[in-house]
A = this chain, B = another copy of it.
């Protein structure tokens, strides 16, 4: 199996450490001291995962991300020195699958890499099963979710006013409607790594979400001792 990984990082010590960690886990790793060199290598021979620092000589990690995204859907992890470098609003980081804020734990990065590879395998599996409509609207029960406008409509054509967090939770549950989602996963995927929130925080959001979904046919059911799953109410 032995997945191959490319890393661009100009701080030699960090590069070396990360590389050592990943290689110890059996990955084939190539390091670069700037993003352009990585991109050139990627053109020659693609890899299975890319890790990019934001600030490097030459192109930034975001620019490289964009260039790679034009030709590939390879998973990308971004490393940033400060949280503020992550400008969600601009959407420039769209396409990166994950990010780490320095200083980060090398072991955590490895865990994330392993999880990413597992997820990719899972996605491939689901693709083979012939599902996954990416572009259009998301339908469930009497709900209609427009990912572009982030609007949610009920059957009667009434808009459902959701807060950003509520929307994100609903969307994630929707995208994984066929399985139960654990609290930890929700926290991880909605709130994000590094955020420190109580596990109970997602209970709160789910509670408010439930209240707003009362008049719809969509229910957020509790999977006891685990998490939640979306169900249609069949009366």
Report which residue of A94, A184, A188, A199 has the largest number of chain B beta carbons within 10 angstroms of its beta carbon. Answer: A184
Residues 179-206 (chain A) with a chain B CB within 8 angstroms:
179-180, 182, 184-185, 187-188, 193-196, 199
Is A232's CB within 8 Å of the partner chain B? no
Is A72's CB within 8 Å of the partner chain B? no
**The 9 nearest A-B residue pairs measured at CB:** A148-B179, A13-B88, A164-B225, A97-B107, A111-B196, A98-B105, A122-B184, A17-B88, A118-B130
What sequence of 0s and 1s flags, for each residue 18-46 of chain A, a beta carbon within 8 Å of any chain B beta carbon?
A: 00110010000000000000000000000
Number of copies: 2
Chain A interface (Cβ < 8 Å from any Cβ of B):
12-14, 16-17, 20-21, 24, 75, 88-89, 91, 94-99, 103, 105-108, 111-112, 114-116, 118-123, 125-127, 129-130, 134-135, 148-150, 163-164, 178-180, 182, 184-185, 187-188, 193-196, 199, 223-226, 229
Q: Could you name 16 residue pairs across A and B whose Cβ atoms are closer than 8 Å? A: A12-B89, A16-B89, A20-B91, A21-B94, A75-B107, A97-B105, A111-B123, A111-B196, A119-B126, A122-B184, A122-B188, A125-B184, A135-B179, A149-B178, A149-B229, A150-B226
Q: With A and B bound together, what is the CA distance between A199 and B114 in angstroms?
A: 9
Q: How far is the CB of A52 from chain B (nearest CB, A)?
A: 14
Q: With A and B bound together, what is the CA distance between A118 and B119 in angstroms?
A: 15
Q: Contact: A121 with B130, CB < 8 Å?
A: yes
